[in-house]
Amino acid sequence: MSQINLIISEPDNIFESGYKAKKGWLNFDLLQLFLMHPFVVLKRQCQVNNITQKVHILPFSLFPVILKLSKTQGIMCLWKGFSSVISVKLISYSLESFLTWSMEFSKKNKITWKGYYGKNILIKCVTISVMIPWNAVSLAESVQSCVVRERNDGIFDTFKEGLWHFIQLYSPKRGKMLISIYILLPPTIICYLLKQTISEFIYSLVSCLLKFKELWKQQRKYCIEEEKNFYLYKINKIEKTSKLIGFYTAEMLMYPTETIMHRLYLQGTRTIVDNVESGSNNIVPILTNYQNITDCCELILKKEGRSGLYKGFGALVLQIILNFILLHVDNEWNRNNIL
């Protein structure tokens, strides 16, 4: 029975155990991030384009666009802005680590679970708030057409442009089209908290169901003793699957809100995107005059209809399919290493 109890142990124990894959988690995460990026680029280009008539809700409609863009601009046009995404993650991680250290947020401190989650949420909210300019720059880098692309995508370039955008957003003398940080701040934090809440809830629910299913299977097998590593592998597989389901459930439910926020972030940045209707070398300037999140939502519904909030949803579907394929390959690889 002691072996069965491993199935319902806490997730953190997986990483503190002796079970480790030969390939580090960092390598897999970077590979996953790299392979997912083309779909992120396509999704964002569809989301911010307020002129195009094609919404690309179904994934199959994106294949002709991918082929034409690759033919006219080269296959690497689908990975534009990838270095800026890495830069933003590094800056965000560094800032979060600094805030954690400055608040003496350590496992050695004896705090209640309410204090733990309260401080964690506070740190996340502060990080998200400060990172708005850099996220906006990363968004612009990932949707800017390669036809008119002039600037470099280096890590330091992203940091420098994000810093300049930070000054612009907080400056009272910002451009007329650029939305104030004080308008962007509340919906950004609320959207983040909602997405995290949905993701964590679905993750906990799915994880619990899968663990009890595994426990039930173990009991039907009369508790056959197996190696501890194999049980840890099963827990690891359940955790990764649950997290992925939770993450993409939140992504799908919050997709309309993400579309609105991306348009607000991009307004006033003089960004020119590719033509996602045909995939040709035709370019489309992003010219909008939204006042706030409510105004943006109302104008999208009025001019583009409800489907306007789901532009590029097919790219998210392709991303989900590929991500679960990668997860299956990773699970099988880890399984073969411990058998």
Check residue 18 and report its DSSP letter. S
pLDDT category at 287 given cuts 50, 70, 90 is confident
Q: Tally helices (H) and strands (E) across the chain.
A: 13, 2
Going along the chain from its start, the domains and CATH numbers come out as: 2-338 (1.50.40.10)
Please state the separation of Cα 272 from the chain's center in Å.
23
CA pair distance 290, 260, nearest whole angstrom: 10
Q: Report how far apart, in Å, the C-alpha atoms of 333 and of each of 29, 100, 136, 301, 326 are.
A: 15, 35, 37, 46, 10
User: Is residue 67 predicted with pLDDT exceeding 80?
Assistant: yes
CA pair distance 217, 234, nearest whole angstrom: 12
Q: What is the b/e burial string over 145-183, where b = at least 16 CB atoms within 10 angstroms of the residue's CB?
A: bbeeeeeebeeebbbebbeebbebbeeeebeeeebebee
User: Is residue 224 predicted with pLDDT exceeding 60?
Assistant: no
Mind listing the pLDDT tens digit for each residue in 2-51? 433 333 333 333 333 333 443 444 456 788 889 999 999 999 999 999 88
Give the pLDDT score at 40: 95
Mind listing the pLDDT tens digit for each residue in 123-163? 889 999 999 999 999 999 999 988 777 655 666 777 888 88
CA pair distance 249, 322, nearest whole angstrom: 15
Q: Report how far apart, in Å, the C-alpha atoms of 89 and of each of 36, 155, 219, 334 are.
A: 15, 11, 43, 27
CA pair distance 69, 28, nearest whole angstrom: 27
> Which of these, 321, 307, 322, lies nearest to 57 by C-alpha position?
307
Contact 266, 138 (CB under 8 A): no
Burial class (CB in 10 A: 0-12, 13-18, 19+), 40: buried
Mind listing the pLDDT tens digit for each residue in 102-131? 876 555 555 565 566 778 888 889 999 999
Check residue 202 and report its DSSP letter. H
Q: Is 144 strand, coil or helix?
A: strand
Check residue 284 and report its DSSP letter. E
Length of the chain counted residue by residue? 339
Beta-bridge partner residues of 326: none
Beta-bridge partner residues of 144: 273
12-16, 173-177, 248-252, 280-284: range with lowest mean pLDDT: 12-16
The DSSP secondary structure of 232-265, one letter per residue, reads HHHHHHHHHHHHHHHHHHHHHHTHHHHHHHHHHH
Mean pLDDT of all residues belonging to the chain: 81
Tokens, residue 310:
């789901």
Contact 132, 163 (CB under 8 A): no
Tokens, residue 18:
């002796």
Section 177-199 average pLDDT? 91
Angle at CA of residue 247, ends 310 and 277, nearest 5°: 25
22 CB-near residues (< 8 Å, 6+ apart): 337
